[in-house]
Amino acid sequence: MRKIGEVLRLQAQGLSQREIGQSVGAAKTTVREYLRRAALAGIRWPLPEGLDDSQLEAKLFPPPIVAAGKRRPLPEWVEVHRELKSRRHVTLMLLWLEYRESHPDGLGYSQFCWQYRRWQGAQDVVMRLEYRAGERLFVDYAGDTVPVIDPDTGEIRSAQIFVAALGASGLLYAEASWSQDLGSWLLAHVHCFEVLGGVPEAVTPDNLRSGVSRACWYDPEINPSYLELARHYGTAILPTRIAKPRDKAAAEVGVQVVERWVLARLRHRRFFSLEELNRAIRELIEAVNGRAFRGQVTSRRDLFLELEKGALRPLPASRYEFARWKRGKLGIDYHVEFESRFYSAPYRLARQEVEVRATSQVVEIYHKGARVASHVREYGKRRFITNPEHMPASHRAHLEWTPSRLVRWGAEAGPAVAELAETMMRTRPHPEHGYRACLGLMQLEKRYGKERLNAACQRALLVGSPSYQSVKSILKAGLDRVPAAAPKLVVLAAGQHENLRGPAYYRQEA
């Protein structure tokens, strides 16, 4: 239900319900319902302090109450349209009859047909995309790449070209990076915002895998790190529809201009570093932005300074720090894995779903939108990073026991107990195995007393079996009460037997 908070935030920024639905990956009707319920509950953005996702859901979706009257329900026109287009012999009359079976007080047939035709006409309208100043930034990668030569090895790598274009002024930005991965994608956005000196109301990317985890018009899934960047800068992500070039006409034109007037002009130049390539790109982009449009005296830069620069939202006080998000589940040991290392969360959340947010320095764990743990990111050999405050009291008590403390306890219980405890910790393959065995001896002391435990440990040492299980067996059988003699070495004299060859057998005759 974390989408509810995002819907309220975007509404406070003035976005329409359709745009909010595109950004959060929800239908327009769902957005409308969220806003209606929030208004009835008296909840607005920013949310009250301390209100988590569960409490917000409970306020907006209380148990159903039977209402005195009902509004006339409307059909799901998307489903009606899909049935007509994908099923043979299905007619509007048949769909209307099925609709009236479920909703006897619903629309009449003429209203049903009129409403559907009206909806269908709205879907087919081709709109000219004219944007207000500061409303939209289009982003994409160019199809062409630029070769960069490694000066040491001579290896040639292809640099990817990120392109951004403002919707109102057409101002262009371009940047080269080694790949189209998530880190490069987000860093290019950060650099673009900083060059523009502000942030647009919305960013429209193509359905690139780095930004959109699952491309779908009705329910697109935006990458969590991309959503976090948008939240940090106070903007919205509105992906384009699949195979709908009109949705990103400004981006297509921007990419075409960059390919023709920047990349094509660099085709004969040789670059030996990414920084050198980006300097050349910035010089040519500046020239393109300063060149007047055909038949006009105004340039992209002029329009930007005159109309759009002042309409952009201000940059936040701090720069966005790239963070990766990962969904996971806490194990029975209340740890969650991130890049082969395991980080703890409060033990009460064991076996529950969580989200991990990791920057270069910090790993944070979130449960239902609330941060429940934070760790310094580990890059060394440690695999388990555990905060003692996350452990149950019994686990913390075990953690406080050290080898020296265990030996001191053994000395208090008896000399044989101390010797056995020290022997177990010295001979076990891992120190913790010895700790656990000593903790077992403590339990035996509580049950049998110090005197019997010391006698049992002495017997275990004499028979050469210094282990917790041996001591436990001795106490259980009562052998600690039986005096134990040290084992004697018995030497057997050699006798005469037909199977005993003797030393003469091995002598070689001359």
Residue 38: which residues within 8 A CB-CB, separation 6 or more? 4, 8, 44, 60
- DSSP calls for 237-273: E-PPPTT-GGGGHHHHHHHHHHIIIIIGGGTT--BSS
Amino acid 296: pLDDT: 64
> What are the tens digits of pLDDT across the range 140-150?
999 899 999 99
* pLDDT band per the 50, 70, 90 thresholds, residue 429: low
Residue 143 identity (one-letter amino acid): G
Residue 97's φ and ψ, nearest 5 degrees, are -60, -40
Amino acid 269: pLDDT: 92
> What are the tens digits of pLDDT across the range 70-89?
567 888 886 786 676 555 57
pLDDT at 437 over 90: no
pTM of the predicted model, to two decimals? Answer: 0.54
DSSP 27: -
CA-to-CA distance for 255 and 163, rounded, in angstroms? 6
* pLDDT band per the 50, 70, 90 thresholds, residue 219: very low
Overall average pLDDT of the 52-75 stretch: 69
What are the structural domains of the chain? Answer: 1-65 (1.10.10), 136-311 (3.30.420.10), 325-391 (no CATH), 401-481 (no CATH)
